[in-house]
Amino acid sequence: MSSKLVKTPLGLYKHLLRQLALLPEPMRPHYKHRIRQEYHSYSDETDTDRVEEIIQQTIKDAEWVVNKYKTSS
């Protein structure tokens, strides 16, 4: 699934869990825990504009993390 197709918090959560496969094995538990924490911390957000903003920023952050480990490997 392309990150452009992520429209809901649950879709974002699933997308991020799939992105874990791109990270080095030792880092996956850390980021899996962070993904779960952040999902729960924003799960009560009801403002659709804010949800869209969170989704877009989170995707950018996830791409940065993946690229960080691609270049350091």
Per-residue pLDDT 10s for the chain (73 aa) are: 556 789 999 999 999 999 999 999 999 999 999 999 999 999 999 999 999 999 999 999 999 999 999 887 6
Helix (H) or strand (E) holding 11: helix 9-19
Structure tokens at 35: 């993904």
Chain CA centroid to CA 15, Å: 7
Structure tokens at 6: 């992520």
What angle, 0 to 180 degrees and rounded to 10, lies between the N-to-C axes of helices 48-72 and 9-19?
0
Residue 3 DSSP class: G
pLDDT for the residue numbered 64: 96
Task: Please tell me the distance from the alpha carbon of residue 29 to that of residue 61, in angstroms, as a whole number.
Answer: 17
Total structural domains in the chain? 1
Residue 64 belongs to domain spanning: 3-72
